[in-house]
Amino acid sequence: MKSVAIIGAGITGLTAAFYLKRKGVPVTVYEASDRVGGAIQSVRQNGYLAEFGPNTILETSPKISQLIKDLGLQSRRLAPSPQAKARYVVRYKRLIAVPSALGIFFSPLLSAKGKRALLREPFVPARRDGKEETVAEFVVRRLSREFLDQMVDALVAGIYAGDPYKLSIQQALPRLAALEEKYGSLIKGQFLGARERKRTGEVAKDRAPKFSFDEGLQVLPDTIAKTLGDSVRLNSRIDSLTQKNNSWVLDSFSASPAEHAAVIYAGTAHRLATLRLDALLPLSLKPFSEIRHPPVASVVLGFRREDVAHPCKGFGVLIPKIEGFKILGTIFSSSLFPNRAPAGHLTLTTYVGGERNPGHASLLPDQLVALVCEDLRQLLGVRGKPTFQHCAFYPKAIPQYNVGFGKYKELMNDLEKLAPGLFLAGHYRDGVSLSDSIVSGMNVAERVAASLNR
Ligand SMILES: Cc1cc2nc3c(=O)[nH]c(=O)nc-3n(C[C@H](O)[C@H](O)[C@H](O)COP(=O)(O)OP(=O)(O)OC[C@H]3O[C@@H](n4cnc5c(N)ncnc54)[C@H](O)[C@@H]3O)c2cc1C
């Protein structure tokens, strides 16, 4: 039986391996580090449950619940507490709840001028010349500079730790670009597109239900890895791929070469650039090193409840650059899910760095905690010392789908066409969220299975 190698035991690689194995295809997963999960990392310590990487999965597609069901994880899935619905954005140094749809017209988040610009949006002519635009250009053209500075800047800090003046609207927020293309307006598209989403079962990211598990997101990769048993090889960084007749030979410093009928690369774009590819191909992997990956630090802090003035009832707060804070935003982790903090305490998870302040991400842990505490003091009225602290540093956190990213996607398409049996999947190609990565893993498993049956 033809075997498949999967490079990377993040959620993409594990999902692909799980579904291939269910189809009876022998798989081996090679993971460079000593653990499974990639960016996902949940740690329980001193009564706190800290998520160093992602905090929640968005159920944007029926495929997400399919995976949970296939793994028998429904009983361990946790929905956020109903009180955690509120999301905040900072304006004039204060937290303001983001209103639902029409509520924006009664909210202090936008000025009267900003609200008038919203009313005009359905009448702004759609741009149909196919030219790629930055997120900033798109939002200013259709809405207003104020909407960009106040709302969208905070949003892209939350998703990409990115810069709206660099991110491509077509690549980074394709749903918004598609609304203009299809309906001529974002606001009209919101209403008219609802029917189509209902038909396909897809849910917009801003409306998708969020969830985690009783012991954090790590439950998901750990459960998949258990089903794969010793097919998962940790501490096995693949350094080179050699094409040999109808198969691929994988080489690593830590293990003897192994031959497989097909290979799924589910690693990162910056590591892909360093992979030695020995095949007769008229292309190089080096350009993938040009994709920007700004550094991000995640700082998980515990506090006594009485040491935080703000009720912190909600999902969390995003901070636009114009507000002048050093942090990008904070998730109210212990309001979201139970058992994230000991009784009488709360957990706050704050992100620092990104394209906005890359230098801050690499500060020493004590400096990071001091920087975060200073901003949280002003924003949430935090006092005293944290009762728990942990900093995690992601030197290359999230690939930026900036203007020009399309040429890397074309290179990925060419690579798959010219190197039969080599497949590319994951956050560096199919969308940066966990749900995108899960769907990417499921789809690549289908593609590989179909190619083996040919
Ligand atoms: C700080 C942070 C917060 C985030 N928050 C959220 C969130 O709340 N919600 C959300 O939906 N998404 C979030 N994301 C994004 C989400 O975590 C990623 O989209 C997702 O984890 C990507 O999964 P992946 O398997 O594609 O890649 P990764 O998780 O990066 O896994 C890739 C794996 O491949 C391995 N690898 C690479 N090269 C090789 C090689 N040559 N040989 C062997 N192994 C190799 C790596 O060691 C790694 O384990 C966040 C990301 C970060 C960094």
Q: Would you write out the chain's pLDDT as a tens digit for each of its 454 residues?
A: 689 999 999 999 999 999 999 999 999 999 999 999 999 999 999 999 999 999 999 999 999 999 999 999 999 999 998 888 899 999 999 999 999 878 889 999 999 999 999 999 999 999 988 899 999 999 999 999 999 999 999 999 999 999 999 999 999 999 999 999 999 999 888 888 777 777 777 677 777 899 999 999 999 999 999 999 999 999 999 999 999 888 999 998 777 889 999 999 999 999 999 999 987 788 899 999 999 999 999 999 999 999 999 999 999 999 999 999 999 999 999 999 999 999 999 999 999 999 999 999 999 999 999 999 999 999 999 999 999 999 999 999 999 999 999 999 999 999 999 999 999 999 999 999 999 999 999 999 999 999 998 8
Q: Residue 95 is encoded by which pair of tokens?
A: 């937290």
Contact 162, 398 (CB under 8 A): yes
Give the model's pLDDT for residue 423.
98
Q: Which of 29, 235, 268, 277 to mutate to test the pocket of ligand 1 (most atoms within 8 A of CB)?
A: 268
CA of 432, closest atom in ligand 1: 19
Residues with Cβ within 8 Å of 73's Cβ and at least 6 positions away in sequence, in order, are: 213, 219, 220, 223
Give the model's pLDDT for residue 126.
94
Q: Is 294 in the pocket of ligand 1 (CB under 6 A)?
A: no
Which tens digit of pLDDT belongs to each residue from 273-304?
Answer: 999 998 778 889 999 999 999 999 999 999 99
β-bridge mates for residue 259, sequence order: 249
Q: Is 264 in the pocket of ligand 1 (CB under 6 A)?
A: no
Q: How many CB atoms lie within 10 A of CB 133?
A: 16
Tell me the pairing of strands 345-353 and 296-304: antiparallel
Contact 32, 374 (CB under 8 A): no
Residue the block writes with tokens 């990104």: 354
Give the model's pLDDT for residue 130.
86
Q: How far is the CA of 37 from the centre of ligand 1 (A)?
A: 7
Q: What is the pTM of this model?
A: 0.95
Q: Is 170 in the pocket of ligand 1 (CB under 6 A)?
A: no
Q: How far is the CA of 113 from the centre of ligand 1 (A)?
A: 41
Q: Is 232 in the pocket of ligand 1 (CB under 6 A)?
A: no
End-to-end CA distance of the chain: 13
Give the model's pLDDT for residue 454.
80
Of 293, 264, 313, which Cα lies nearest the Cα of 445?
A: 264
Q: How far is the CA of 7 from the centre of ligand 1 (A)?
A: 12
Q: Is 33 in the pocket of ligand 1 (CB under 6 A)?
A: yes
- DSSP conformation letters of 115-174: HHHHHHGGGSPPP-S----BHHHHHHHHS-HHHIIIIIHHHHHHHHS--TTTBBHHHHSH
Give the model's pLDDT for residue 435.
96
Residue with CA at minimum distance from ligand 1 atom 13 = 54
Residue with CA at minimum distance from ligand 1 atom 37 = 267
CA of 252, closest atom in ligand 1: 42
Which tens digit of pLDDT belongs to each residue from 237-278?
Answer: 999 999 988 899 999 877 788 999 999 999 999 999 999 998
**Calpha distance 435→445 (Å, rounded):** 16
**Calpha distance 267→265 (Å, rounded):** 6
Residue with CA at minimum distance from ligand 1 atom 20 = 434
Q: What's the angle, vertex CA 98, arms to CA 97 and CA 99, rounded to 5? A: 105
Q: Is 398 in the pocket of ligand 1 (CB under 6 A)?
A: yes
- DSSP conformation letters of 303-319: EEGGGB-S---SSEEE-
Give the model's pLDDT for residue 255.
74
Contact 156, 135 (CB under 8 A): yes
Q: Which of 212, 254, 277, 398 to mutate to test the pocket of ligand 1 (most atoms within 8 A of CB)?
A: 398
Q: Which of 264, 434, 444 to mutate to test the pocket of ligand 1 (most atoms within 8 A of CB)?
A: 434
Contact 419, 281 (CB under 8 A): yes
Phi, psi for 28 (deg, rounded to 5): -130, 130
Give the model's pLDDT for residue 82.
87
